[in-house]
Amino acid sequence: MDPLPQDPTVEAEGRYFDGVSARPHPVRLHLDARFRVTGREIAKDWDPLDLRAEDSVPPLMRVGPAHAPDRVEFSNAALAATLTARCPDLHRREGAGGAVRLVLWSVAAGISVLLVAVFGVPYVARLLVPLVPDSVEARLGAVVEPQVVRVLGHPPACTGEAGRAALDRLVSRLVAARRPDGSLPADLAVSVRRHEMANALALPGARVMLLSGLIARATTPDEVAAVLAHELGHVHTRDPTRALIQASGTSFLLSLVLGDFTGSTVIVAVGEALLSAGYSRDAERAADAYAVEMMARAGGNGAALADILERIAADDGPRGTLDLLRSHPLTTERAAAIRALAGPSASGRQILPEKEWGALKGICATTERSSDRSRTP
Amino acid sequence: MSIAMTEARPGSAPQGVSVTFDTTFRGLTRLALKGILLSLVTFGIYRFWYVTDLRRFFWSRTTIDGSPAVYTGTGKELFLGFLVALVLLVPIYLGLFAISLAIPALAPASVAISFVSLFVLGQYALYRGRRYRAMRTLWRGIRLGQDGSALGYAARAAGWWLLVYLSFGLAFPFMRASQERYRINHTLVGTSRLTSEARGRSVLGPWLLLYLVGLGIPIGFGVALLVASDFSLPSDLMVPKPGGKAGETILNPAYAGTAIGRLANALFFAALICLPAAFMLIPYYRAREARAFAGAVRLGGVRLASTLRARAFYGPYIRYVLSLVGLMLVLGLGGVLLALAARQVNFSFIHWFIVLGYVIMAPLGAVLYVRLVRARLWAAVATSLTVLNSEDLSAILASARGAGSGLQEGLADALDVGGALQIGL
Ligand SMILES: [Zn+2]
């Protein structure tokens, strides 16, 4: 490849720039074993191996020594071709290339971020939850609830007076029946909203939201009470707060990597993640056990939890992203575990008298529309 | 190096050289496709290298007086700058979040607080990003530069936007001109300083046209509505839609046929037609602004002139939309054919086809956007320019200042403001 001494000489006209001023100097270019630039008071003698070309559109070529600022420009195809043939490093760029290495590194980085999101964030969230003071958790609930209401499409709150009284009695019976170590926050707030979906949600700050679809699908008061008790189980273990920390951490981490870092998307993602992503299977099993025991101590039928989950599963199957079954997948083992915990004698019991059950069913007969709309941004 | 130049100077008549751009775009499609695909598989990390390649491409194909511009930035610098910006941003985000939690009274305003602080930060980042691009740009070996303060620029932007808000948008062209003057007056080519004579007046006409179409007509109907109702709109003008979702409202049928009802309906239709029409006028305004501002740039005796036409800004968008529609038709047709075939085979096949279509559409759309919009807009602006009194370009001298920090553009990327190819640097 080395240029031989008898290499043909190529000559062309060009413009020389000294790198200090923008003034062009007309020069004559002369390439043989060396690259010579001659003009009025200009005489450069460069080694072709030192030459580097800057990006340009052919036939224009802009070349100069790698470690000096002066350059020549010329538009001569023959000289450009000869120069390209004789200077192996002409188009070399410091720090260029390495795309494969970059891809491998970033794939590795991406996988490690994913691993952190999948395993690290839940672990950190579990560690953090006991450190969150109640007052902060209450405020978190106040921030999250409007988001959840928005995602659900602003369902109106149900405020039927008799139904509300029946619900309050049911909640206080359940709370009174908790185990000594099954503490629940004092500011527990259970609300009902008119929505055709059969679901119940536990939010941070001891907020539980029942959707009227669930009450409509229940055949006994124990079924509503058991789902409510299940959500109280989540409240007791502060699963919603943990899920919130986990969802924020994960979406923060992912938006960090994916470059969408506008903050607002994180907040929106949290609301949706909280609704669609369920808790871990262990958390669900614990909440089931909590619910069955609470029902038994309150004199209700704990097996009703399995009944209503089975009914919803048989009627709908997992439909939307916000479905109860999406966050609480019903397996035969789960239903069997619930029934085993409840025992054979549970099915005869009923937690509310028929009259109060009727009132609870009618809680959404009258609703107020405007109050929740004014609260949401 | 001192070289005595005794060249014969041409007469004092203004001499123009044109700015050229290679509009064959050879190699651009490959570059864009590679960049987008690699960005996809690297979780977006490759985008810094992709942006660098794009800039090298566009810089090197733009020549002034025969000499191409050189971009010397690297993907590594952009990536490191992004990482540093993240380190700065995480506490800011956490702080904003903590404020809304710690002071419940501020919680309703937290969205506004976040928006304002991120806006100011975004302007700061834009100015720093511009400084990075300037310092990585060379022409004939002369490095560009930018002084001035990014904080000052952000403060000016905040003040101007407040003024624009208070003046119902009428101050907008004056803000644009003022910020353009700040940017250009702090831009250096070697030791020479660019100056701008941009005036808001020069783009007031196009802006007023856009303003009148978009806001004037609806506001006119709104005022007429107020006058017709003696400045007290009936509170039951809007009623909840019967059977509709919460939040859905319709015009109270009781007002149908009255002057108020007709005006309210006219207001709805005006808003429905005028806002998209104003949107369609944005390229026209942008083109007029680019022409006026380019013509206001001076460098000593050198000045720029632009012949940019508005249609040069419409063509790229129209071609892009048409190609997207064509692409979707082709893919849709393929989908229908496959769906017909899949009826005998397997139903879940269609889901895979939709996923496949998306995987094909997204990169292709991005490539088309670079090729048909970005490149064409750049070409339109560049080739419309003429450098007048170009013999004074020879007086430009390189400055001693170095290339500056490589971390300055990271914040703009982390905040998702600015783009790879800000036309006009
Ligand atoms: Zn659960």
- Residue B382 corresponds to which tokens in the numbers above? 């560049």
pLDDT in tens, B359-386: 777 788 888 988 888 889 889 888 888 8
Contacts of A21 in chain B (CB under 8 A): 142, 394-398
Which residues does A361 contact at the CB level (< 8 Å), separation at least 6? A163, A215, A216
pLDDT at A375: 36
Contacts of A102 in chain B (CB under 8 A): 38, 42, 45-46, 49
pLDDT in tens, B48-85: 888 888 899 999 999 888 889 999 888 888 888 888 88
Residue B163 has pLDDT above 90, yes or no: yes
pLDDT in tens, A305-333: 888 888 877 765 554 444 455 556 667 78
CB distance A15 to A60 below 8 Å: no
Q: DSSP per residue over A228-249, as a string?
A: HHHHHHHHHHTHHHHHHHHHHH
Residue with token string 């124990």: A222
C-alpha dist (Å) from residue B325 to B143, B284, B318, B329, B336: 43, 23, 11, 6, 16
How distant is the Cα of B13 from the closest Cα of chain A, in angstroms? 19
Distance CA B394, CA B305 (A): 19
How distant is the Cα of A261 from the closest Cα of chain B, in angstroms? 6
Contacts of A255 in chain B (CB under 8 A): none
pLDDT higher for B232 or B206?
B206
Distance CA A247, CA A312 (A): 27
The burial of B216, by beta-carbon neighbours within 10 Å (0-12 exposed, 13-18 middle, 19 or more buried), is given as middle
Distance CA A190, CA A266 (A): 27
* Best residue of A102, A248, A367 to probe chain B, by most B CBs closer than 10 Å: A102
Q: Which residues of B176-201 are buried (b: 16+ CB within 10 A; e: fewer)?
A: bbbbbbbbbbbbbbbebbbbbbbbbe
**B139–A22: do the CB atoms touch at under 8 Å?**
yes
Find the mean pLDDT for residues B403-417: 66
Q: What is the mean pLDDT of chain B?
A: 80
Distance CA A238, CA A207 (A): 11
Which residues does A200 contact at the CB level (< 8 Å), separation at least 6? A208, A209, A210, A211, A214, A227, A228, A230, A231, A324
- What is the number of other CB atoms lying within 10 angstroms of the CB of residue B425? 15
Q: Report residue A56: phi and psi, to 5°.
A: -160, 165
Residue B162 has pLDDT above 90, yes or no: yes
Q: DSSP per residue over B109-140, as a string?
A: GHHHHHHHHHHHHHHHHHHHHHHHHHHTEEET
pLDDT at B11: 42
Residue B312 has pLDDT above 70, yes or no: yes
Q: Which helix (H) or strand (E) holds B63?
A: strand B62-64
CA of A234 relative to ligand 1 center, distance in Å: 6
pLDDT at B172: 92
pLDDT at A345: 73
Residue B182 has pLDDT above 90, yes or no: yes
Domain A10-86 adopts which CATH fold?
PH-domain like (2.30.29)
pLDDT at B423: 46
pLDDT at B177: 93
The interface pTM score, or ipTM, of the predicted complex is 0.73
Q: Which helix (H) or strand (E) holds B78?
A: helix B75-102
Per DSSP, B217 falls in state: H
Distance CA A193, CA A211 (A): 5
Residue B256 has pLDDT above 80, yes or no: no
pLDDT at B226: 79
Which residue ranges make up each domain of chain A? Answer: 10-86, 106-361
pLDDT in tens, B83-123: 888 788 778 777 777 776 666 666 667 777 778 888 888 88
Find the mean pLDDT for residues B179-207: 90
Residue B13 has pLDDT above 50, yes or no: no
Contacts of B38 in chain A (CB under 8 A): 99, 102-103
Contacts of B396 in chain A (CB under 8 A): 21-22
**B3–A25: do the CB atoms touch at under 8 Å?**
yes
Find the mean pLDDT for residues B312-326: 91
* Best residue of A16, A20, A105, A372 to probe chain B, by most B CBs closer than 10 Å: A20
Residue B234 has pLDDT above 70, yes or no: no
Residue B390 has pLDDT above 90, yes or no: no
Interface of A with B in 92-121 (CB under 8 A): 95, 99, 102-103, 106-107, 109-110, 113
pLDDT at B334: 78
**B43–A113: do the CB atoms touch at under 8 Å?**
yes
pLDDT at A157: 87
Q: What share of chain A is helix, strand, coil (3-state, %, to 5)?
A: 55, 15, 30
B372: helix, strand or coil: helix
CB distance B71 to B406 below 8 Å: no
Chain B's closest residue to A43, CA to CA, is B3
Q: Of B300, B359, B386, B297, nearest to B18 (Cα)?
A: B386
Q: How far is CA B91 from the centre of its chain?
A: 28
Q: How far is CA B81 from the centre of its chain?
A: 21
CB distance B302 to B388 below 8 Å: yes
pLDDT at B3: 35
Residue B249 has pLDDT above 70, yes or no: no
Q: How confident is the model at residue A269 (pLDDT cuts 50, 70, 90)?
A: low
**B416–A260: do the CB atoms touch at under 8 Å?**
yes
pLDDT in tens, A132-158: 888 888 888 887 888 788 878 888 888
Which residues does B261 contact at the CB level (< 8 Å), separation at least 6? B251, B252, B255
Find the mean pLDDT for residues B147-169: 90
Which residues does B233 contact at the CB level (< 8 Å), separation at least 6? B225, B226
Q: How confident is the model at residue A180 (pLDDT cuts 50, 70, 90)?
A: confident
Q: What is the mean pLDDT of chain A?
A: 79
**B398–A102: do the CB atoms touch at under 8 Å?**
no
pLDDT in tens, A63-118: 988 888 889 999 988 888 888 888 888 887 765 567 778 778 878 877 887 788 77
Q: Report residue B45: phi and psi, to 5°.
A: -70, -30
pLDDT at B107: 63
pLDDT at A338: 87
The burial of A347, by beta-carbon neighbours within 10 Å (0-12 exposed, 13-18 middle, 19 or more buried), is given as middle
Find the mean pLDDT for residues A213-224: 88
Q: How far is CA B68 from the centre of its chain?
A: 24
Instruction: Choose the weakest-confidence range: A344-348, B91-95, B286-290, B323-327.
Output: A344-348
pLDDT at A145: 84
How distant is the Cα of B200 from the closest Cα of chain A, in angstroms? 31
- What is the number of other CB atoms lying within 10 angstroms of the CB of residue B293? 24
**B414–A369: do the CB atoms touch at under 8 Å?**
no
Find the mean pLDDT for residues A43-57: 86
How distant is the Cα of B82 from the closest Cα of chain A, in angstroms? 9
